[in-house]
Amino acid sequence: MSEDDNDKGSTVFDSLITVVPRHVAIIMDGNNRWAKREGVPGPSGHRAGVEAVRDILSACKRHGVEVLTLFAFSSENWGRPLPEVRALLALLSRYLRNEVRELHKDDVRLRFIGQRDRFSPRLQKLMRQSEHLTRNNRGATMVIAVDYGGRWDVAQAARKLATQVQQGTLQPEDISPESIDANVALSDLPQPDLCIRTGGDARISNFMLWHFAYTELYFCNTLWPDFNELEFARALADYSRRERRFGLREPDGLVAWGELDA
């Protein structure tokens, strides 16, 4: 599809976007399959994926999405072949060195969630510097999940609460969904309204398990490097058609079972 066709298609879907999610999370899947399809080395697929990040961040700003969270490197990804792990981490370092100042100019705040202690001191420093530089930006927030797992997130929240109980500042009976919610990653940001997974698989792969309680899920076959503004607009249009009830529904005149004996 040409760039002109992509723009025309995006405009068509733009007209169908009546409700814009505040927070979109994306599981970026398909880089390796894209590289295999194109007959290029695996790292080339990950580099192509970075280009897609630029396009989607631009689309988020254009549509008014406040927060974009990207699943860049899961806790389980350490088990991939060592050359691939090294290539992914090198790509992340390069991205931070080359892109953060542009993000800052665009008023984008950059944040990271996940464990950091397994990364090199140099990469950890780049992450800290990136967060510090962009900390006061308000145009949009981009969150990069690295060495992150949903189960780890819930476990670290439980550890924080257990420490408070041990210190006597919290009673066990006071532990609630709200207190857990306050201690998981991104507790200060809106919950994800929409999670997009590219690449054809229909699962969330241990990503933001606590946060996705009422998140709308959107799965598409497009490989991540091919996921562009048109594909993103299509996902937002699909989201606009959904009715989010959060476990509730409007009264419809039906008689409840308990009322039959009244």
Task: Based on the residue annotation, tell me whether 228 is a catalytic residue of this protein.
Answer: no
At 56, phi and psi to the nearest 5?
A: -75, -35
**Which domains, ranges and CATH numbers included, belong to the chain?**
19-242 (3.40.1180.10)
Q: Per-residue DSSP letters for 113-159?
A: ES--TTS-HHHHHHHHHHHHHHTT--SEEEEEEEEE-HHHHHHHHHH
Catalytic residue among 29, 147, 153, 193: 29
Question: In tens digits, what is the pLDDT along the chain, a chain of 262 residues?
Answer: 555 555 554 567 887 899 999 999 999 999 999 999 999 999 999 999 999 999 999 999 999 999 999 999 999 999 999 999 999 999 999 999 999 999 999 999 999 999 999 999 999 999 999 999 999 999 999 999 999 999 999 999 999 999 999 999 999 999 999 999 999 999 999 999 999 999 999 999 999 999 999 999 999 999 999 999 999 999 999 999 998 877 766 666 555 445 444 4
**Contact between residue 64 and residue 20 where contact means Cβ atoms under 8 Å apart:** yes
**pTM for this model (two decimals):** 0.89
Catalytic residue among 77, 137, 183, 206: 77
Task: Based on the residue annotation, tell me whether 29 is a catalytic residue of this protein.
Answer: yes
